[in-house]
Amino acid sequence: MKKSIFLAFILSLAVFFAGCGGQKSEDLSWTKIQDKGQFVVGLDDNYPPAGFHDATGELVGIDIDLAKEAAKRLGVDVVFQPVQWDGVMMNLKNGDIDVIWNALGITEKRKKEIAFTNVYMIDKNVIVVPVNSSIKTKADLAGKIVGLQAGSTAEPAVTDDPIGKELKEIRKFENPTQALLDLQAGRIDAVVTNEMNGRFLINQENAQDKYHILSEEAGYFGEEPYGVGLRLEDKAFLAELNRVLDEMKADGTAAQISEKWFGANIIE
């Protein structure tokens, strides 16, 4: 009898300690990155200005520059791995890549599947007008012809906004570049596009004397915060990324990278 009680006691202790071990496992995510000496970024490499190939074939973009600077501060290398965008979340979960860094919008649905760094940029659907335009606020769009990219987030943003019902016409284009050309030619009165793309196009064409982006106070059509995506369990690596991103913002490096691509600082 005593032997049976003793064995039962030993078994209960074993179950208890096994349970304790299962409740908490050590987070080695940052240690693993250090041991590898690199982290792998998954991205769509045809998505300017986040990441794309320039005329020489080099992979460039604002997120490429930000990731390289973060890697330097972390003391490791960064490897960029192009992936099919519709499978990027699975690539992350499977361990094929370590982060998603590619103008990745932070949404409630995605937050259930992956972890995000602090927001480093908030993209907005902004209003672009000619520099001499009489349109000074979003309300001034009433009775005007507005151009936007078909199928973009700008389309529902405009149509769902109260001012959408007051527009004379919404004209849809294959891409924002075509819309800006029509704006320059006077065939439309304004263009609604995401700020990242709009500022990039204007800066690339040195067209600051042709186009003007209305200020946030003047009005815009919705916004989408961007963050770097990691696996939910990689909390230690997440903390290190947040640390260096905060450093880059504080010392002005992130702002310099933004100025390079957009001619303005849109880093949060």
Which of 99, 47, 51 has the alpha carbon at shortest distance from 71?
99
End-to-end CA distance of the chain: 70
> What tokens does 213 get?
């982006």
> Backbone phi, then psi, for 77, in 5-degree steps?
-90, 165
Domains detected in the chain: 29-120+227-262 (3.40.190.10), 124-223 (3.40.190.10)
User: For residues 224 and 165, what is the distance between their CA atoms, to the nearest angstrom?
Assistant: 23
**DSSP letter for each residue of 49-67:** TTBEE-TTS-EE-HHHHHH
User: For residues 176 and 193, what is the distance between their CA atoms, to the nearest angstrom?
Assistant: 7
Which pLDDT score, from 0 to 100, does residue 208 have? Answer: 86
What is the percent of the chain where pLDDT is above 90? 66
What is the percent of the chain where pLDDT is above 70? 91
b/e sequence 61-92, b meaning 16+ C-beta within 10 Å: bbbbbbbebbbebbebebebeebeeeebbebb
The secondary element (H helix, E strand) that includes residue 41 is: strand 38-43
Report the half-sphere exposure of 163 (CA within 13 A, side-chain side): 20
Name the packing angle between helices 253-262 and 235-250 (round to 10°). Answer: 70
Q: Please list the alpha-helical segments (H only) found in the chain.
A: 2-23, 29-36, 62-74, 88-94, 108-111, 154-159, 176-185, 195-204, 235-250, 253-262
Instruction: Note the pLDDT tens digit of each residue in 226-259.
Output: 999 999 999 999 999 999 999 999 999 999 999 9
Q: Mean pLDDT score of the chain, rounded to an integer? A: 89
The 10 Å Cβ neighbour count of residue 122 is: 17
Residue 104 pLDDT > 80: yes
